[in-house]
Amino acid sequence: MEELHILSPAKINLFLEVVGRRPDGYHEVESIMQLVNLCDGVHLHRRPRGIRVSVSGAELPPGRGNLAYKAAALFMETAGVRGGVHVHLDKRIPLAGGLGGGSSNAAAVLAGLNRLYGLSHSRELLQDIAATLGSDVPFFLSDGLAMATGRGEVLTPLQPWPPQWLVLANPGVPISTSWAYREASSKLTDWQERATIRPLAAGGRLAWPPVWAFNRLEAVVVPHRAEVQALKGLLQEGGGSPVVMSGSGASLFAVVPDAASGQALAARAQASGAFAMAVTTLAENPILSVMG
């Protein structure tokens, strides 16, 4: 096989609690993550040697500063592959928006190279490699709905829902994940009680609509980002319920009852100048389709 095209989906955090700071500098979290059908395209083409990354649709570093490049380099080294690859990223997922686009691209590169070079590494091995690239990367090699604990790499699969409608919206202001977690660290002693999703997820199934949705990082991001606060208000006034920030923001998701409601609310958010689109949850992970 000489080339391969992979759909690389975004995720939302339906639930995110910061439990505490770990000795290794990361944070202990409890989260529910779900894939949605807003996807980047990841195109892989074999080369005799060397790694090349190109990007369309966004301004990203094409070389070693790109997580897709790091994923390719790590896979080649770990697997002992003698060869190269050209990775082209067609970006549609907003950058620095809490939707995991870079992590998804990295996971797609790992799964794609496994197929492109005819290897048979298990998903579990790929997830172990993925965990060294970033806390969210292993999730993008899961089935698509999971509870994440530890620093986000310990995954417990949950039973998927049929496709459910949401509106994703982003006000166009990047949020630094490291900044958001530093701010959260400074407030951990003030948050005496921690929210938990474990009792609701104990049976492996969560109810929809997610009236239980929650994101602790809203408490640090929203007061500092008026654009996020205004967009959340717009989505709520337009009928989204609940409306919750994903990850460290600035993206928000709004639960809606159907496609028509989603398209109308997305249009309303777009009219305010935000990126917005109606999407559905995914019951299957398109990245896994390349693993056979």
Task: Look up 136 and say whether it is catalytic.
Answer: yes
Catalytic site residue from 11, 70, 91, 232: 11
- In whole angstroms, what is the distance from residue 246 CA to residue 231 CA? 13
- Residues near 14 by beta carbon (within 8 Å), at least 6 away in sequence: 32, 33, 34, 210, 213, 244
Bridge partners for 213 per DSSP: none
- In whole angstroms, what is the distance from residue 257 CA to residue 271 CA? 21
Bridge partners for 52 per DSSP: 86
The identity of residue 6, as a single letter, is: I
Catalytic site residue from 40, 136, 143, 232: 136
The identity of residue 181, as a single letter, is: Y
Task: Look up 258 and say whether it is catalytic.
Answer: no
| H/E element, 218 | helix 218-221
User: Is the distance from CB of 286 to CB of 37 less than 8 angstroms?
Assistant: no
Give which of 29, 39, 162 is closest to 100, Cα–Cα.
Answer: 39
Q: Supply the residues annotated as catalytic.
A: 11, 136
